[in-house]
Amino acid sequence: MQVERRRVTLGSELVQELRRALDVVEEQRHRAGRLLCRRSRDRATNAPGKAAYPEVMKVVLPDGNELDLPDGATGLEAARAIGPKLAEQAVLVRSNGHVRDLRLPLTDGEPIQILTTRDRDDPDALAVLRHSSAHLLAEAVRRLYPGVKIAIGPPIENGFYYDFDFPEPIHEHDLERIEAEVKRELAEGREWTRDEIAAEDARVRFEGGDEPYKVELVDTAEGPISLYTQGDFTDLCRGPHLLNSKPIKAFKLTGLAGAYWRGDEHNKQLTRIYGTAFFTQDDLDAHLERLEEARKRDHRRLGVQLDLFHLDDISPGSPFWHPKGMVIWNTLEDVRRRENARRGYVEVRTPLIYDRLLWEKSGHWEKFREHMFLIPEGDRTYSIKPMNCPGHMWLFASTLRSYRELPLRYAEAAPLHRNELAGALHGLTRVRIVTQDDAHIFCTREQIEDEIFGCLDYAKYLYDLFELQARFELSTRPDNKLGTDEEWDFTEAALQAALERRALQYQLNPGDGAFYGPKIDLHMTDSLGRSWQMGTIQLDSQQPARIGCRFMGADNEEHTPYVIHRALFGSLERFIGILTEHYGGAFPFWIAPVQVRIVPVGESHREAAYDLAARLAPHRVEVDDSDETVGKRIRNAEVEKIPFTVVYGDAESDESLAIRERGGAQSSKSLVEFRGQLATLSPWQVGAEPSLTP
């Protein structure tokens, strides 16, 4: 029997009334279904002589209530069982910290949380929205550019990308056309379907479509092969994805870049298109504003503008530090050395180049070799050190120590070299030369907690200097760990106990520990709301034993020490890059490269200006006696974000100085008053000693 379908136009009020009625009917239908399931389960359970068959399963909702579902029900069916409105808005299932496509079955007894379009700030909800947006981008590109080959398109922080092999190069101006095509797809609407197929069938499919990158992915895939289809576009993908495109309310392409296939510089370079998507247009607008502010604060741009450093392809990933940049560097180094001395650290200096034997003993040869710069010499191979810890342990192991020497705290800020891929380099935040404020604490089992407390207190003190608030993350054993589970149980518990006894809130990051031990990573949020990893505190029971670190205990027996690795700035390069963007180049007075600039009005005022500069010592003072106009020299000081500018003319004297502060405030102060003001801003330079109080 055929039924003719006709399009009927109804008033909006009548449509809403019909929808409400249908919602009620749908909810009643699901309630009846759940009741029948419970009755069926009860009959199966209570029938004499029959074993219960799991026709019904339970899942646990976020409020602790249990939801009965037919065995094998999907996340979408769970949402429908709760209510049709939830099902309409659902985008993703989260269970035990993992995300799952709504189309996939749930398991009996598992806790679930159904994320919806209302979870617009949830990272997992945004990730699935952006993942589906990447597929819309691939569909549009394939339609607009016949012959293009598609590679991969994952969600990333703040957006997504998709890599393509175009028959002809594309340019930034082409993004507008591609974005318009995606928006046309959104206006049409798209729904995603998911299918699982055999690997051989997937291979045949993508070979027939002349998609070599997809064929390679099929050949290296583990587990089931799944395909997602929207419109006339099918992609190899593990998911998860949206049910349809309705939640994507805002879409924007943001840039182009080159990227080697699978991150290997020996492979073909593809074209990477970046984009982002949000649940609301307001969220996209706010994101674009942050991007513009981030562009203004980009440390690579400010580094040149403020004459701090520059980068050059003559030595990729290795900054050239200018005198003003070295002022910041040396100020941080002064803090490091002074605080290390106060806290019982001793400075050491170890070689830059080691035989591979050391790296084999430490475990880095197996786990980290691809990131080392190797130096072959005859039948031996050396490496420039990418980290300090094996060298510090070799130093400790050069003699048998006594328990009375422990804890022994070695500190060294040596240049380290890591062979980062060229495409991964980014200003000061991803470099090949890394200078860590490194330290390694050799201690007994009983001393671990106090030493971790000391590191946490030290970190708090340092971050307070910059008015940064640290957040803590506990990273546990990775898949490639060294040592036994029992050893890791102890070291993980020790770090966790230290955090909890200090009443520090932390997030668990399973599987992200170093291969030799768990770690506490310290993160901060900058002025733009971006999260950065700063320092790290790691507990190691593996390398000391492998390298042969030993001490004689009070029991006259030899023991292996534990080693706490800690770097609190992280690396000086990265820390300066982050600070530059956090402050927008307007550094706090005590680390500003130039703290005061004096602008003599005329040639006759130059001598007095230089005399004033000398009397403002030990502060960092410059005199701008160039031939530029006074207004231009004042403007230059503003552009260079100098904290104070003193304009010195006929009216100025020790009793009255014309002072302009960064930001525009102007005042008149005597020299004595001005020196007193500067003294409160720069305690390091006037002899005040920092407190050890956490």
Q: Helices marked H in 62-169 — which ranges?
A: 75-82, 84-89, 123-144
Q: What is the mean pLDDT of residues 439-468?
A: 94
User: What pLDDT sits at residue 423?
Assistant: 75
User: Active-site positions?
Assistant: 389, 418, 436, 438, 440, 519, 565
Q: Which CATH class is domain 123-297?
A: alpha beta
Asked if the model's pLDDT at residue 53 lies above 70, the reply is no
Q: What is the mean pLDDT of residues 115-130?
A: 96
Asked if the model's pLDDT at residue 40 lies above 80, the reply is no
Taking only the tens place, the pLDDT of each residue in 288-337 is: 998 898 899 999 999 999 999 999 999 999 999 999 999 999 999 999 99
User: What pLDDT sits at residue 277?
Assistant: 98
The pLDDT > 90 percentage for the chain reads 81
Asked if the model's pLDDT at residue 195 lies above 90, the reply is yes
DSSP state letters, 185-225: HHHH--B-EEEEE-HHHHHHHHHHTT-HHHHHHHHH--S-E
User: What pLDDT sits at residue 333?
Assistant: 95
Rounded Cα distance between 76 and 93, Å, is 9
- The 3-class SS string of 524-585 reads EECCCCCEEEEEEEEEECCHHHHHCCCEECCCCCEECCEEEEEECCCCHHHHHHHHHHHHCC
Provide the 3-class DSSP secondary structure of residue 615: helix
Instruction: Write down the CATH superfamily of domain 589-681.
Output: Anticodon-binding domain (3.40.50.800)
The pLDDT > 70 percentage for the chain reads 90
The fold of the 26-116 domain, in CATH, is Ubiquitin-like (UB roll) (3.10.20)
* Cβ contact 117:89 at 8 Å: yes
Asked if the model's pLDDT at residue 29 lies above 50, the reply is no
Q: Helices marked H in 594-644 — which ranges?
A: 606-615, 630-639
Asked if the model's pLDDT at residue 575 lies above 90, the reply is yes
* Cβ contact 584:292 at 8 Å: no
Q: What is the mean pLDDT of residues 504-528?
A: 90
Torsion of CA 492, 440, 367, 541, to 10 degrees: -40
Rounded Cα distance between 476 and 497, Å, is 14
User: What pLDDT sits at residue 27?
Assistant: 44
Would the CATH topology of 322-350+387-583 be identical to that of 589-681? no
Q: Give the side-chain half-sphere CA count within 13 A for 647.
A: 18
User: What pLDDT sits at residue 39?
Assistant: 40
The mean of the pLDDT values for the chain is 89
User: What pLDDT sits at residue 682?
Assistant: 64
The DSSP bridge partners found for residue 473 are 507, 521
**pLDDT confidence band for 251 (50 / 70 / 90):** very high
**pLDDT confidence band for 54 (50 / 70 / 90):** low
Helix H or strand E encompassing 228: strand 225-230
Helix H or strand E encompassing 660: strand 657-661
Asked if the model's pLDDT at residue 685 lies above 50, the reply is no
User: What pLDDT sits at residue 36?
Assistant: 39
Instruction: Flag the least confident range among 60-74, 253-267, 346-360.
Output: 253-267
In Å, the largest CA–CA distance within the chain is 112
Q: Please report, for the chain, the start and end positions of each structural domain, with discontinuous segments joined by +.
A: 26-116, 123-297, 322-350+387-583, 589-681
The CATH code for residues 322-350+387-583 is 3.30.930.10
Taking only the tens place, the pLDDT of each residue in 214-248 is: 999 999 988 889 999 999 999 999 999 999 999 99
**pLDDT confidence band for 103 (50 / 70 / 90):** very high
For 541, the token pair is 């029971």
What does each C-alpha distance from 117 to 124, 191, 239, 348, 648 come to in angstroms? Answer: 11, 16, 18, 55, 61
Rounded Cα distance between 115 and 49, Å, is 43
**pLDDT confidence band for 47 (50 / 70 / 90):** very low
Taking only the tens place, the pLDDT of each residue in 537-568 is: 999 999 999 999 999 999 999 999 999 999 99
* Cβ contact 577:329 at 8 Å: no
